[in-house]
Amino acid sequence: MKVEGAGALVAGGASGLGEATARRLHADGADVVIADLNAEKGEALAAELGERARFLEANVTDADAVEAAVSAAAEADSGLRISVSCAGIGWAQRTTSKQGPHDLQIFRNVVEVNLIGTFNVLRLAATAMNENEADEEGERGVHVSTASIAAYDGQIGQVAYAASKGGIVGLTLPAARDLSSRGIRVLTIAPGLFDTPLLAALPEEQRQALGAGIPFPSRLGRPDEYADLVAQIVANPMLNGETIRLDGALRMPPK
């Protein structure tokens, strides 16, 4: 899939992994729509990128808002060809503790944003991609979801987060099979510990300690490395139906 001239949607594109992805796809020539709840950061990023960049405020769980973002990205000359879902939230709470059982509404909220929100982006983006003319490889589009190594190595207190990310991993192959006849690929990246705004709030000593625990390279991942993998996925038509761990060989301990 060629990036230059393609319409691209990056959900959760105002910061962190999404911001790096929006920057990379834009630099490679895509017309990028940044969809995010953070209007201040999203508008600032779109203004910085300039031509071929646009921001739309959107909650990934809101079908109408995501549909508007998809429609905007589909206005590109070649239509919406690339969608990347980076929006997500986290929560730490044990299944039960001295304070009582895990809050059920919080569990629902995490699954709603991370899993259902991801599927909402996928289903609407794929519907728009379905209308594209196929390229010389027969391809109409590619979608990349963001899971986490917590899907495999969920730690104590991560039941909600790990369940939501595990669901993303689980839907990747059947979605790719669903869409294969239309030439639409579906993949997922499962990042390890990355230097995102979530970890930026930690003391530097703690950040260094987290990085040191990664086998190699022994540091936190950089958002641009996630964006590099998105670009490589887009470029390689044989990549499909797979979840790729991007974690420096890290396997998380129980806590």
The residues carrying an active-site annotation are 161
| Cα-based torsion angle of the residue sequence 250, 24, 31, 73 in order, rounded to the nearest 10 degrees | 10
Torsion region of 48: left, alpha or beta (phi above 0 gives left; psi -120 to 50 gives alpha): alpha
In sequence order, the 6+-apart residues with CB closer than 8 A to the CB of 55 are: 14, 33, 34, 35, 36, 39, 42, 43, 45, 46
Instruction: Give the number of C-alpha atoms closer than 13 A to the C-alpha of residue 176, restricted to the C-beta side.
Output: 21
Dist. CA 51–CA 205, nearest whole Å: 40
